[in-house]
Amino acid sequence: MHFLLKILNELFQSLTTDTVYALVGESGTGKSYNAKLVAERFGLNAIIDDGLLIQDDKILAGRSAKSEQTYMGAVRVALFDSKEHRDEIARKIKHYHIRRVLIIGTSEKMVTKIATRLQLPPPSKYIHIEDIATKEEIELAVKSRQIEGKHVIPVASIEVKRRYPKIFSNGIRFTFHRSNPLQVVPTDNKKDSKVVEKSIVQPEFSKKSRIAISEAALTQMSVNCIREFDSGIRVKKMIVRADSRGYRLVITLDIPSDAFASTDLPLTKRVDNLQKKIIDRIESSTGIFIEEVNIIIDKVTTE
| Residue 94 belongs to a domain | yes
pLDDT of residue 120: 96
Same domain? 174 vs 283: no
Provide, rounded to the nearest whole percent, the portion of the chain with pLDDT above 70: 81
β-bridge mates for residue 59, sequence order: 54
Same domain? 86 vs 201: yes
Containing structural domain, residue 203:
19-179+192-209
C-alpha 105, offset from chain centre: 3
Do the beta carbons of residue 128 and residue 136 sit within 8 Å? no
Same domain? 223 vs 123: no
Q: How confident is the model at residue 210 (pLDDT cuts 50, 70, 90)?
A: very low
Same domain? 172 vs 44: yes
DSSP 180: S
* Phi, psi (degrees; rounded to nearest 5) at 203: -60, 155
Same domain? 87 vs 42: yes
Same domain? 48 vs 197: yes
Same domain? 202 vs 260: no
Domain count, the chain: 2
DSSP 155: S
Same domain? 142 vs 30: yes
Do the beta carbons of residue 181 and residue 37 sit within 8 Å? yes
Strands 58-62 and 52-55, bridge-based pairing: antiparallel
Same domain? 58 vs 103: yes
Same domain? 225 vs 173: no
Question: Greater confidence, 208 or 119?
Answer: 119
d(CA 264, CA 144): 54
| Residue 89 belongs to a domain | yes
How many residues make up the chain in this entry? Answer: 303
59-97: per-residue pLDDT in tens? 999 999 999 888 788 888 999 999 999 999 999 999 999
228-237: per-residue pLDDT in tens? 988 889 999 9
